[in-house]
Amino acid sequence: MGKTIQIQPVTRIEGHARVVIQLDDAGEVNDTRVHVMALRGFEKFAEGRPVEEMPRIVNRICGICPWNHHLASVKATDKVFGVELPPTAVKLRRMAQHLAWIPDKLLHFYFLAAPDFVIGPDADPSVRNVIGIVGAAPDLARKVVHLRQKGAMLLEDWLGKVIHPVAAVTGGFSTPLAAAIQQRIIEETKEQLEFAQFTIKFAKENVFPKYLDTVKILGNFDSGFLGTVTADGTWDIYDGKLRLMKRDGSYDDFTYEQYSDYLEEHVEGWSYVKMPYAKKWGEGFSMDLAAPKGIYRANCLARINVCDRMPTPLAQKELEEFRAAFGRPAQFTLLYHWARLIELVANCEMALQLAQDPAILSKDVRAQVTPKAGRGVGCVEAPRGTLIHDYTGDGEGFITNANLIVGSTHNQAPINMSVNAAAKALIHGGVVNQGLLNKVEMAVRAYDP
Amino acid sequence: MAVRVVSEWLSSCSGCEISILNLGDVILDLIPAKLQLVHIPALVDSKYFGPNGDGTHLTLPECEVGIISGGVRNEEQKEVALELRKKCKFLIALGTCATNGGIPAQANAWDNADVLNKVFKGSITTPPAETPTQVVPKLLDRVYALDEIPGLKVDIYLPGCPPHPDWIAAAILALLDGKTEFKLPERSVCDTCQVIREKKAAGGANIKRSLTNATFEAEEPIQKMRCLMEQGFLCLGPVTLAGCAGKEGNPRCIDARMPCRGCFGPIKKTSNPLVDMMGALTSVGINPQSVPDRRLILNRFIGAHNKLRPLPQRPGMPGPR
Ligand code: SF4
Ligand code: SF4
Ligand code: SF4
Per-residue pLDDT tens over the stretch A283-313 = 999 999 999 999 999 999 999 999 999 999 9
Ligand closest to the CA atom of residue B97: 1
Q: CA–CA separation, A114 vs A120, rounded Å?
A: 9
Residue A258 pLDDT exceeds 80:
yes
A313-335 average pLDDT score = 94
DSSP state of A129: S
- Across the interface, which of A7, A174, A265 has its CB nearest the CB of B53? A7
Atom of ligand 3 nearest to the CA of B161: 8
Indicate whether A101 and A5 sit together in one domain.
no
Domains held by chain A: number: 2
pTM for this model (two decimals) = 0.96
Residues A24 and A125 in one domain: no
* Cα B2 to chain centroid, rounded: 29
8 A C-beta contact, residue B202 and residue B228? no
Interface test with A, best of B80, B125, B195, B264 (most A CBs within 10 A): B125
Nearest to A388 by CA among A400, A374, A401, A402: A402
What are the start-end ranges of the H helices in chain B?
Answer: 15-21, 25-30, 75-87, 96-100, 112-121, 165-176, 252-255, 273-284, 294-298
Within chain B, all domains assigned CATH 3.40.50.700 are found at 3-176
> Which residues 106-145 of B are in CB contact (within 8 Å) with A?
106-107, 109-110, 114-116, 118-120, 122-127, 129-130, 132-137, 139
Residue of B136, B291, B321 best to disrupt the A interface, most CBs of A under 10 A: B136
* Chain segment A122-136, per-residue pLDDT in tens: 888 877 887 788 888
- B262 neighbors B248 (Cβ within 8 angstroms): no
DSSP H or E stretch at residue A173: strand A172-173
pLDDT of residue B321: 46
* Mutual angle of helices A335-355 and A87-106, in 10-degree steps: 140
Length of chain B: 321
Residue A12 placed within a domain: yes
- C-alpha B214/C-alpha B231 separation (Å) is 7
B196 interfacial to chain A (CB closer than 8 Å): no
The residue count of chain A comes to: 449
CA distance A181 to A177: 7
Q: Are the beta carbons of B136 and A161 separated by less than 8 Å?
A: no
A47, A177, A434: residue with CB nearest B319? A47
pLDDT at B52: 86
pLDDT higher than threshold 50 for residue A357: yes
| pLDDT tens string B107-143 | 999 999 999 999 999 999 999 999 999 999 999 999 9
Q: What distance, in Å, lies between the first and last C-alpha atoms of chain A?
A: 36
What angle is formed at CA A432 by the lines to CA A430 and CA A436, rounded to 5 degrees? 135
Question: What pLDDT is stored for residue B320 in this prediction?
Answer: 44
Does some domain include residue A46?
no
Percent of chain B with pLDDT over 70: 97
Q: What is the DSSP letter of B208?
A: B
Contact, B139 vs A40, CB < 8 A? no
Taking the CA of residue B308 and the nearest CA in chain A, the distance in Å comes to 12
Same domain, A128 and A5: no
Q: How far is CA B289 from CA A193, B38, B222, B281, in A?
A: 51, 51, 29, 10
pLDDT at A276: 96
Domain range for A107 is 84-219+348-364
Residue A445 domain-assigned (yes or no): yes
Instruction: Provide the pLDDT for residue A449.
Output: 62
Q: Are residues A106 and A198 in the same domain?
A: yes
By C-alpha distance, the chain A residue nearest B262 is A56
B3-176 fold: Rossmann fold (3.40.50)
List, in order, residues 6 or more apart from B29 with CB less than 8 Å away.
Answer: none
Residue B71 confidence (pLDDT) above 60: yes
Residues A352 and A213 in one domain: yes
A410 chain-B contacts, CB cut-off 8 A: none
More confident residue, A104 or B302: B302
Which residue among B21, B77, B100, B103 is best mutated to probe the pocket of ligand 1, counting the most ligand atoms within 8 A of its Cβ? B103
Supply the pLDDT for residue A367. Answer: 97
What's the pLDDT tens digit per position in B20-61?
Answer: 988 888 888 888 889 999 999 888 888 899 888 888 899 999
Q: What is the b/e burial string over B52-63, where b = at least 16 CB atoms within 10 angstroms of the residue's CB?
A: ebeeeeeebeeb
Residues A16 and A133 in one domain: no
Residue A231 lies in a domain: no
pLDDT averaged over every residue in chain B: 93
Question: Is the ipTM of this structure higher than 0.85?
Answer: yes
In a domain, A175, yes or no: yes
State the amino acid at position A22 in one-letter form. Q
Q: Position A117: which residue type?
A: F
Taking alpha carbons only, the member of A105, A144, A134 closest to residue B44 is A134
pLDDT band at A1 (very low <50, low <70, confident <90, very high): low
The answer as to whether A151 is a domain residue is yes
The verdict on a CB contact (< 8 Å) between B317 and A48 is yes
